[in-house]
Amino acid sequence: MYRARRSEPSASPTMYLLALILTLTTVILVLIPARASPADSVTAGSAKVKISGGIRNVQMVSVDLKDPSVRIEAALAQNRVGSVENLADMAMRKQSPDTEVLAAINGTFFHAYGEPPTPWGTIQTEGKFVHIGNTGTCIGFTADNKVRMDNLYVSIDGYLEDSGDWVNNWYAWNINHSYEDSSSIVIYTPEYGTRTPDHDLTSIVVENGTVREVVGGAARIPANGFTVVTGNNVIISRFTPGKKAEYRLEFSRARSGEPVDWEGVYTTIGAGPRLLKNGTICVAPEAEGFTEAKITANRGQRSFIGVRNDQVLIVGTVPNVTVYELAEIALSLGLCDAMNLDGGASSGLWYRGKYLTTPGRLLSNALVVTKKTGLERVSTNVQVVVNGKKLSCNPAPRIESSRVMLPMRVLFEAVGAEVTWNEKLKSVVAEKGDKNIILRLNSFKAEINGKTVDLDVPPRVTEGRVFVPLRFVGEALEAEVEWRAKEGAVYLWTVPEAG
């Protein structure tokens, strides 16, 4: 259980020395493969960089995040937590008829010699957190490619019967991470598998938002829910079959406890330590909770990720460097914010079907660069007409993954539904007639009259507004929805169309 708070470190003499050394740091040569067009938003290359410890060769991939068809995604080996797989195969699992996989790099640390090979850092994939680390630094990406990097601390707060009263409160230590401590409280989701690991504790099965079973030992993990495993009798006593149960995540800064805005983030990978902040070296591994010399002091093969001020993301690998020397390299490449990823035998970089750096082992997780080959992933050039009247929206409607997204209140008011926002549970509740709809922020699951249904695109916060998928809302209210491509408009009728 990671709950320790650490104080903000002061700048060390080592940091000042590194800043001085960097005045001598030089990028000597950059090579771009001939097949990569200058207009391509995802390219690969190499650079020979002079640092305080000598010259190092950097293999890297650059991604122009201003391209709305590009997306950075987290991938799990075999699509589950606790497995390993070849990096290339893991990346290609993201391939689809309208999605091209362009590049991949190893992600967070994991127990390479443990069974199962559990991740060590935080992982969020397709908007859902499937593991929490709370040590080091996290990088996050929103659906429209905004980048966030912070010492993210994620806490798990549970609720019963939609109540915040203490008798209905519960909490968890982690998601999909086993502990030997009998007092641990762990949530297992379908990303772990169909059953929890074997144990002598109590399993609480929550399906479609309702407690279904409270049993001793291992239990099933429902496809539309989660299973809580714990030996904490106080927590166990609060769960009884038939009660509503859910959890939400709170985000803060690990060292200070200050709230961190992580809403709208679709992909997260936690590793570290951080290398650069606002263009300045800020390496402080011990302050971020790292204690092993292979991270804090030793040289080795390393991977990194960072972003420039012009919204170009760079991921790369470097041999035989410390994290301090890696920070020098990141700064010399023009990055403003950067962090270390897993390294050693886990360090791997793949680009368009070829390894630029071959990992020395199978991996648990990765970051994958994909590109939509059809409709642009995010577009704001769309009109919405409800019952013959064109809606005026600010912010404007969006198309994401072929789905029109509208600001929550604009859409529900247009279709005559009453809408409320539950801040504690980060959920939208809409009612019209005998229909009750619940959508949760960043969740691919929604409820219609208590029945769980899947969403293609989850509700998200964009420009300070909650956006929801128009077609889902329309069809949930039994309205007619039609996309007219020539007009670039979507029509919705809650009453029969005139004529």
Residue 130 included in any domain: yes
Model confidence at 29: pLDDT above 50: no
Nearest CA among 351, 377, 280 for reference residue 65: 377
237 and 259 together in one domain = no
Give the tens place of pLDDT for each residue, 56-71: 999 999 999 999 889 9
Residue 453 domain-assigned (yes or no)? yes
- Residue 401, pLDDT score: 67
Q: What is the mean pLDDT of residues 449-475?
A: 83
pLDDT at position 374, please?
54
pLDDT by residue (tens digit) across 423-442?
Answer: 777 888 889 888 899 988 87
pLDDT of residue 128: 93
Better pLDDT: 22 or 324: 324
For residue 92, give both structure tokens. Answer: 């290609």
Where does the pLDDT of residue 23 fall: very low under 50, low under 70, confident under 90, or very high at 90 and above? very low
Burial class (CB in 10 A: 0-12, 13-18, 19+), 20: exposed
Report how far residue 163's alpha carbon sits from residue 244's, in angstroms, rounded to the nearest whole number: 10
Same domain, yes or no: 146 and 160? no
Q: Judge if 159 and 289 occupy the same domain.
A: no
DSSP-assigned letter for residue 110: B
Single-letter residue type at 224: N
Q: Are 261 and 331 in contact (CB under 8 A)?
A: no
Residue 293 confidence (pLDDT)? 95
For 8, 124, 431, 460, the CA distances from 257, given in Å and listed in that order, are 11, 21, 37, 24
Please name the residue ranges forming H helices in 239-314: 293-296
Domain shared by 123 and 268, yes or no: yes
Q: What is the pLDDT of residue 31?
A: 43
Tell me if 450 is assigned to some domain. Answer: yes
Regarding whether 338 and 300 lie in a shared domain, the answer is yes
Question: Which residue among 202, 223, 249 closes a domain?
Answer: 249
In this structure, are residues 157 and 173 in contact, taking their beta carbons and an 8 Å threshold? Answer: no
The two beta strands, 489-493 and 383-386, are parallel
pLDDT above 70: residue 126:
yes
Domain-embedded: residue 7: no
Does 238 fall in a domain?
Answer: yes
Residue 77 shares a structural domain with residue 218: no
CA distance 235 to 240: 11
Least confident of 94-98, 206-210, 223-227, 351-355: 94-98
Distance CA 411, CA 494 (A): 12
Q: Please give the tally of structural domains in the chain.
A: 3
Write down which residue in 333, 355, 372 finishes a domain.
Answer: 372
Provide the percentage of residues in the chain whose pLDDT is more than 70. Answer: 89
Is residue 3 one of the residues assigned to a domain?
A: no
Domain end residue (candidates: 372, 391, 413): 372
Parallel, antiparallel, or unpaired: how do β-strands 225-230 and 202-207 relate? antiparallel
Strand 300-307 vs strand 337-340: parallel, antiparallel, or unpaired? antiparallel
| Residue whose C-alpha is closest to residue 341's, from 106, 153, 133 | 106
Please state, in angstroms and as integers, the Cα–Cα distance from residue 358 to each residue in 99, 131, 310, 362, following that order.
Answer: 24, 26, 29, 10
Please tell me whether residues 269 and 391 are part of one structural domain.
Answer: no
Residue 378: pLDDT band with limits 50, 70, 90: very low
Q: Are residues 221 and 264 in the same domain?
A: no
State the Cα–Cα distance between residues 470 and 412, nearest whole angstrom: 9
Closest CA to 410 of 432, 394, 388, 434: 394
Indicate whether 434 and 395 sit together in one domain.
Answer: yes
Residue 436 pairs in a beta bridge with 431
pLDDT score recorded for residue 232: 96
Q: From CA 446, how far away is CA 458, in angstroms rounded?
A: 9
- Residue 242's domain comprises 155-249
Q: Which residue has the higher pLDDT, 182 or 415?
A: 182
- How far is the first Cα of the chain from the last one, in angstroms, to the nearest whole number? 64
* Same domain for 233 and 85: no
Among 157-166, 252-261, 343-352, which stretch is predicted with the lowest mean pLDDT? Answer: 157-166
Instruction: Confirm whether 182 is domain-assigned.
Output: yes
Between 233 and 449, residue with greater pLDDT: 233
The answer to whether residues 391 and 293 belong to one domain is no
CATH of the domain at 413: 3.30.457.10
Question: Using one digit for the tens of pLDDT, what is the confidence trace for 103-125?
Answer: 999 999 999 988 889 999 999 99
Looking at the fold, whether 129 and 169 belong to one and the same domain comes out as no
